[in-house]
Every structure is written in C-alpha cells, then in structure tokens.
Amino acid sequence: MPRLLIVDDEEKIRAVVREYAEFDGYEVEEAQDGMDAVEKVRRSDFDIIVMDIMMPKLDGFSACREIRKTKKTPIIMLSARGEEYDKLFGFELGIDDYVVKPFSAKELLARIRAVLARSSGSSAEEIVTYRGLVINMTAREVTIDGKRVQMTPKEYDLLFYLVKNMNIALSREKLLEEVWGFDFYGDDRTVDTHIKMLRNSLGEYRNLIITLRGMGYKFEKI
C-alpha cells in the first residue's frame, strides 16, 4: 500500500485528499505545515508527498529544500498561484509536478499515480499497448500492427508525455513547458499543430488523443 503525506494548512483540503486517496488504496498521513512535514519525513518514509506552498512556520519551497537534503521522495506541489516563476522555482528545487488550486481531487490522484509510475522505473510502464498499437518509450518506437510508425522527434516527445500522464487533463501551457521547455517562445498553436501531426501519424488510433475544449488534451484508452 503506497504511503502518501499530504501537507496543507487547510484542514478541508487535507480531508478531501485523504478521502479520495484512501478510497484509492493509499495509506495517508497529514502534516499541517512545513515544519511538521520535514519532521515526519525524517521519522518515516513515504512513497509520495503532496505539499502546499503557502503555509505558516515553514513554506512548501523551504520544506522541499530540507527534504531534498536527505530524501528523494517524489513531491507534487500545490499552489493557489500559477505564475511561471513559482513553477520554475519548484522544478529547480526538484519537485515532480505542480498543481494549481482549485483542483479536482480525481485529477490530483491521477497525477499522483503518474508520478509514482515514473519514479518506480518499472519497465512495464514504458510499454503501452492498445489493440494493434504498441508504444515503446524505452526504445522510442511506435508500431501499428507490427509496422513501425515514422514520427518527428517532437512527435515522439509529445506522445510519450501524453502517455506517461494517461487520463490526466493537460493544458496547452503545461505541454509547452514539459515538451518544448521553459525557454521556448512559441504559443498554443505550436501544440495544436503537433497534435494534428501526431494524430495523422497514429492513423486509426488518432481518437486516443482527446481534445478538451478551451483547455488542452489528454491520452485515453477508449
């Protein structure tokens, strides 16, 4: 049973995340501020940490910095602010994902599962199959009915990121940041253009990439 530490000074948020996580099979422990979180991590091991940024005594960034001195536990940061600076700073500290409040508890759980799958290093997670479609992320190879699909390097990167975050709604901004990088100066049309190219490459499996109107995309086995 995976162990989750939820760190937030808002009791209601901790309660909601606990309810969904326990229903999903997680063992959950809570901390109400950064100091409490650091102490709990020193005393015990967790599989993943979900932590708010703005907290009394010790903020989430500072707590993350302290935790990273001794533990490599995956961390998902929560914040009511979505500024690029906060995201950049968090990723520089070594966080694994960044979720802006208000958030859906179901999506947060999906992100938790995705981060745990990536951090586990399990080879089973590196090969995804659906009928005649085989996506081998380790070999950077995609085949349909045994025939290799030729894609551009960026198509591969985009597809693999979508697949690794399967069933998670990903905004165009998130895709630009993660697939193209923070120093890329393109806009949303870059994502849309590559999604169109990727769908053409996937042929009969193009519908596995779902368009979320006004938001972005997600990869979902139909």
Domain spans, the chain: 3-120, 123-219
pLDDT band at 98 (very low <50, low <70, confident <90, very high): confident
Q: Are 58 and 35 within 8 A, CB to CB? A: yes
In the predicted structure, residue 124 carries a pLDDT above the cut 60: no
Give the pLDDT of residue 62: 95
Residue type, 127: I
Q: Are 163 and 137 in contact (CB under 8 A)?
A: yes
Query: What percent of the chain has pLDDT above 90?
Result: 55
- Examine residue 102 and say whether the peptide bond preceding it is cis (omega within 30 degrees of 0): yes
Q: Angle, nearest 10°, between helix axes 105-120 and 11-23?
A: 60
More confidently predicted of 82 and 19: 19
What average pLDDT does range 116-135 have in this prediction?
75
Tokens describing residue 92: 């520089």
Q: Does domain 123-219 have CATH number 3.30.365.10?
A: no
State the pLDDT confidence band at 89, using cuts at 50, 70 and 90: confident
pTM of whole model > 0.85? no
Domain 3-120 class in CATH? alpha beta
